[in-house]
Structure 1
Amino acid sequence: MTARRKPQHEDRGEQIQAAEREAARQRILAQAEAERIPAEESTRAKPDRRWQREQP
């Protein structure tokens, strides 16, 4: 079997797709970081108001 080389335009197309995938990945990571809630804020205890309503 002889190895066949892909036409140059296919290689270029694959490079473009790889660059687009990486750009999309970077956008998703940036968005996730912007929307991230720090652990200190998400684990902070908040008073449970249900107990206060039940008391006379």
Structure 2
Amino acid sequence: MSDKDSRDSIGEQIQAAEREAAKQRILAQAEAERIPVEETTRAVPDRPWRRRER
């Protein structure tokens, strides 16, 4: 393997590691911002302005 091939291989490994790190950061952020299902399916009481429109 030549020096150029070795550098290319190292560069690809670094890029793969950076992509994986970025992926992990995005997943961690998404998990931190996740809204539990229990909170999204909670019933909302009827609003007074809706009752007037009926």
Name the TM-score, length of structure 2 as normaliser.
Answer: 0.82
Stretches of structure 2 that go unaligned for 5 or more consecutive residues are none
Would you identify which runs of 4 or more consecutive aligned residues in structure 1 move more than 6 Å? none
Name the TM-score, length of structure 1 as normaliser.
Answer: 0.79
Percent identical residues: 70
Root-mean-square deviation (CA, aligned residues, Å) is: 2.0
**CA offset digits 1:5-55 (Å, max 9, x no partner):** 77100000000000000000000000100110000000000112022xx18
CA–CA separation in structure 1 for the residues paired with 2:13 and 2:38? 41
